[in-house]
Structure 1
């Protein structure tokens, strides 16, 4: 018994360990599943153009989807002891001003009145002029294609920067079809599938740079994007628009904390999430939270293109449709293979058909057929 008892204990512990996962149930505390909804203000004061603000509300962590928009708000851009400009709600929850040229020597804020009775305002901040972008360039190395930005402020007055990127690229299906299977029969398509579309993506990651520790206010080869050389975005023609924002140290610190909270999480060595509020406050109720930081600055933009002709011919760039194939189906099997979908593009051959999915021939599922004005 003295010899067998430890073995019995070990076996029992092992069985309990196997059973533990089946006893785990999800737990959502009331404070998380039914939180109070707070105002979120997203945007900045453009001192040399149109100011755009998006107003929304926080939602519970267990509620999927987009945060609800804050509509029918009264929104003003105010100069300290000066003029006031109304922002109009152009689309749901999005408010825009006229094209304004603000005095960079003045201080500005956003003033909000949310129906029925709550009033918010951001702190007054000094308007900044963003330095011009020196250049945006790309380099090809053994790992792929890297895109960099360079800038500097000869007055050494900026020191803190933020960048946003908007990318556009051509996509062209490698399989074409003018015949489809509809209502249990093959028929010619009256409107052909498009042969070229344009994909588009606006960056969601936060790109920040600081020269505060340098003797000169110079940003050199800051990495914006990095892709493998086979990425399908470079199959035909690719473009990136880079927007540059000057920041105060306070605004930079806000974005840096937001970056840590949203991008650097998931491992034991990442920083713990911290509460982020910003410089927007509720004037009618001190206990009411609001989220967002409203800075005031101009914006500088630069766009570059990369074409397939600029890359080595030996570079194995993906088509973006590498998984697309056309399967052969004999005539008698067409109803069984294609009938369940109702609308399948096919190419007829003598003994049957070659069939593939709509995703492989309709590039509108990957972009738009509207050619960009800058293309």
Structure 2
């Protein structure tokens, strides 16, 4: 009887072992042209990045591809044309001449011809004046994290501006380059064990403990505003958030805040992007959707082109943040090595370091 039962189970499992897996073939998604970049009134090499990204694919790798070999120009409303040159080291990045700057009151159009001959153009964007930042102040922010004992924290920067009267203004803030005093622990340096050096004991380095580290920190959110509620008034408004990673605010931190005037259409685009990026995952969130920018295919206007060519006047305000300006700080992070080994770090301070 037991032998019969065993034979029955073996026969029952045989058909299951012969089932072939069903292979689903998913076609590659549409390659969408994406524009990333802006030009402002601040002189310097300004960049436009071109990529193509798929909406989906059967193999989830390499979905973002730089667009190389394109012809990229910026044209103003007077007919002046500036050609952007592709970087030899940064594929898909196209740079203006070194001292290029947009002019106040002018309108600019971005035109792109891809290697296959397709021509894209933006709608004109006008450069409107931007007020100065009167002052920048610091506010410490703590962010509770569900399931964690320690809060996230960082510095929120508050700008004071005098908004112009009798005109509708739209603002966009972003972080410029930053520098801070980096402290490490070369006395704790322990090399990776190897046949030539099997020891696991610390082997202290004689130098160096303190360096100046340069970095480009993106904002944790998109900071934009219109002056519907403060037209013609002096106002204070959050313009940046810099997270405390246990290294940045140990001593002194310096950052440049860039305030930019943008068009109403650019503001609407950035507001939609902000809403999409801040979706919380609840049932009350709006459904995600492709947000069209101001670029079109001249031969096929229905083609979806992602991104937005932003143009505007820009002003910059620098602030030095001392460790004592924070009311809460993260525990100091430990890097057991010479501070010069950290990317972006050097012993000498920048020539314009003046806390």
Q: Please classify the TM superposition score into its range, dividing by the shorter chain length.
A: 0.7 to 0.9
Which of these residues, 38, 44, 58, is aligned with residue 44 of structure 1?
38
Assess if the C-alpha contact under 8 Å between 2:163 and 2:231 holds in 1.
Answer: no
Using a 3 Å threshold, how does the CA distance of structure 1 residues 140 and 64 change in structure 2: closer, same or farther? same
Using a 3 Å threshold, how does the CA distance of structure 1 residues 269 and 219 change in structure 2: closer, same or farther? farther
Using a 3 Å threshold, how does the CA distance of structure 1 residues 301 and 65 change in structure 2: closer, same or farther? farther
What is the match of residue 289 of structure 1? 304
Distance 2:264 2:101 in 1: 24
What is the match of residue 108 of structure 1? 108
Assess if the C-alpha contact under 8 Å between 1:39 and 1:55 holds in 2.
Answer: yes
Query: Considering only aligned residues, what root-mean-square deviation do their CA atoms show, in Å?
Result: 3.5
* 1:53-103 deviation line (CA, Å, top 9, x unaligned): 111111355635782211111111112351111111133211121223544
What is the match of residue 184 of structure 2? 173
Assess if the C-alpha contact under 8 Å between 1:235 and 1:317 holds in 2.
Answer: no
Whether 1:233 and 2:248 are equivalent positions in the alignment is: yes
Assess if the C-alpha contact under 8 Å between 2:163 and 2:233 holds in 1.
Answer: yes
Assess if the C-alpha contact under 8 Å between 1:175 and 1:360 holds in 2.
Answer: yes
Aligned-residue offset at 1:270: 2.2
What is the match of residue 89 of structure 1? 86
Using a 3 Å threshold, how does the CA distance of structure 1 residues 274 and 242 change in structure 2: closer, same or farther? same
Query: What stretches of structure 2 of length at least 5 have no aligned partner?
Result: 1-22, 144-152
* 1:306-338 deviation line (CA, Å, top 9, x unaligned): 2236568xx7652212xxxxxxxxxxxxxxxxx
Whether 1:149 and 2:159 are equivalent positions in the alignment is: yes
What is the match of residue 256 of structure 1? 271
When structure 1 is superposed on structure 2, of 146-155 and 217-226 the one drifting more is 217-226
Using a 3 Å threshold, how does the CA distance of structure 1 residues 246 and 286 change in structure 2: closer, same or farther? same
Which of these residues, 61, 71, 75, is aligned with residue 72 of structure 2?
75
Aligned-residue offset at 1:278: 0.8
Which of these residues, 191, 213, 225, is aligned with residue 209 of structure 1?
225
Q: What secondary structure sits across from 1:360 in the alignment?
A: coil
Distance 1:142 1:262 in 2: 20
Aligned-residue offset at 1:161: 0.8
Distance 2:29 2:66 in 1: 17
**Deviant stretches of 4+, over 6 Å:** 141-144, 187-191
Query: What stretches of structure 1 of length at least 5 have no aligned partner?
Result: 1-26, 322-358
Which of these residues, 48, 52, 59, is aligned with residue 57 of structure 1?
52
* TM-score normalised by length of structure 2: 0.74
Using a 3 Å threshold, how does the CA distance of structure 1 residues 227 and 113 change in structure 2: closer, same or farther? closer
Using a 3 Å threshold, how does the CA distance of structure 1 residues 299 and 319 change in structure 2: closer, same or farther? same
